[in-house]
Amino acid sequence: MWRYRTDIGTFWIRRNVAGMYELWLNELLLGACDEADYAAERVGNCTTGYSGWDCRGQVKEPRSLQGWATFNLETEHAI
């Protein structure tokens, strides 16, 4: 799982039981992707489906998983 904190909340990328990578903003599911990198790219390109983020147009956030924290949900600690 990956976590990226922003001023509007925390984006999460979590793998679901079907093997897809879900993109979340806090507790709001924004969609699922085949690849985790594609979910991160959606955040960096402001194409998440969440208008409060997407309306920003251009952001400094990474367009890949580089810059995202790897997170272990079981221990609730960044890796």
- How do the pLDDT tens digits run along the chain, 79 residues long? 999 999 999 999 999 999 999 999 999 999 999 999 999 999 999 999 999 999 988 788 888 898 899 977 655 555 4
Can you give the pLDDT at residue 61? 80
Answer yes or no: are the C-beta atoms of 12 and 50 closer than 8 Å. no
Residue 44, domain extent:
2-78
Handedness of CA 51, 46, 59, 20 (dihedral sign): positive
Q: Give the total number of structural domains in the chain.
A: 1
